[in-house]
Structure 1
């Protein structure tokens, strides 16, 4: 069996990079640390396959009762064609153990309002087939009241020039820098600060249409250090820690966003990365999970928001580098047999106005 992101990926990834070069923005972790076992147990690894192009890599997040969320764009290749099959993996921090035929299948519901040109309503629900390993744990969905609290927090703490306390966490097996040829075989995570919607909209200018109710924006909380999601992280989780519930068994951790898009180079602190705002899609989730949201009461033994882990972690803006990788770019050829040519990280989504 071939391992998804080992030597073969490294040998053939340059084809992917060339294919993605014309794109202006891409769905996408840069400037972070390797995840410890059970630190982000909701994180899943997603591979989708297509006719005529190589399989693609994304992230996903387990929300309980056999359901997961990912980005809608993860189920289309660069030609706009839907995937013909998929496989989900989890319960480990190294992707080298994720072998073809050993993962889980799933049925997918794409949000009906998804717009590929604007990269809006970029969210999909997956119903997982089979029983997941016991060490995969769900994370609670952020409520609309949680989002109101986040918006207030972002407005009170964001600064373009001064370092502030981080308040969000992103994770994935994506690229470790925008100019890297490879995604990461080790799950990585980094911390971010939320960006108010109006500032996010201004910083993106004409490059993207930022809509308050459907987008959540985040970037490094330390302007001199790049921390970011990147190619290969698409569909993965953006997590908020509710300060009023840190002492709870679930440490107050809430799924706030799904990795959607950002600048191609992943080496700047602005414009910020953009995420699908989960609280806006609770009705969509409920309608497709039998009429009720998943009920979960997880117990998390690790605290990924421990500030001591991230001191000085990051890279200089404009260097094209970082310590963590994010949501990848798309590859070519076809189906699982083409894992011999490597799995491509999903990304390189061009914003067309």
Structure 2
């Protein structure tokens, strides 16, 4: 099973992606950006939670100007790059920082993402408190009430404003690594076959996406799940049976991705005043020869996250994995840029985020 690129090819690949990065000039392409997701997008929502899924300590943020912020990266994360490409001058704030303020910060959007969270409510809770997608949607309702107040309690103006925003849903990885393949903490693998579990996730996500639609979302980018079976954590924890990756994890993830693409098609057919796109994270991250599954930071015994103040690799610009499950800043930039400006027709469907952002809907 392939995952990203060997190092020399990877450097060339990233340089090509740097050339395609959107140049920020003038106003953002959309008035606001709302983010629902997990640790690929979390930028501080887990910091004050009683959970092991947090990244507000060194060496996380070692290459980020503000240091450790709760991003599960050595630097910027997925939504930082997408926000930059959209033209936002600063990162979209986490809900944890906006929920108790009365200012206008929420008008630019809010990041609700939570490390270890998933589509299913119980996902990630073995690590402590996490913010499931259902709860993220409830937090969004609270934000909408704030925006309505800021816009003069004008329901029509609020609805029109929200319909011009970009919404991103990046969920599902933890429903596999921190649920289905995490026994004995969870029994879902005993209750569902891989096919049944993928269907159950898609059914629940479909309901959640419809809830988001009723809250005004009309431009929605939905991210698939990447090659989880090739992460350093997976290859160190599960039997690879001689393969470079844990194929049974990747096969299960692909069942979900196929269903997710179909869900996006159904949503586009059923909600003709909205537009949904599917970002094929698996496809984007699977090109090129196999690579070393070595994390850049010294990881904890659990194999997932960095040891506090542990050693880190010297040349992070050539590393792919930052810890046991998360990409480095430079690796995640490739995914962000190809989701924003697709390099191949298979990267996104039916088009990319840049086109979605500029789309004029009825």
Q: If the length of structure 1 is used for normalisation, what is the TM-score?
A: 0.26
Say which structure, 1 or 2, has more relative contact order (CA 8 Å, 6+ apart): 1
Q: Tell which structure's C-alpha radius of gyration is larger.
A: 2
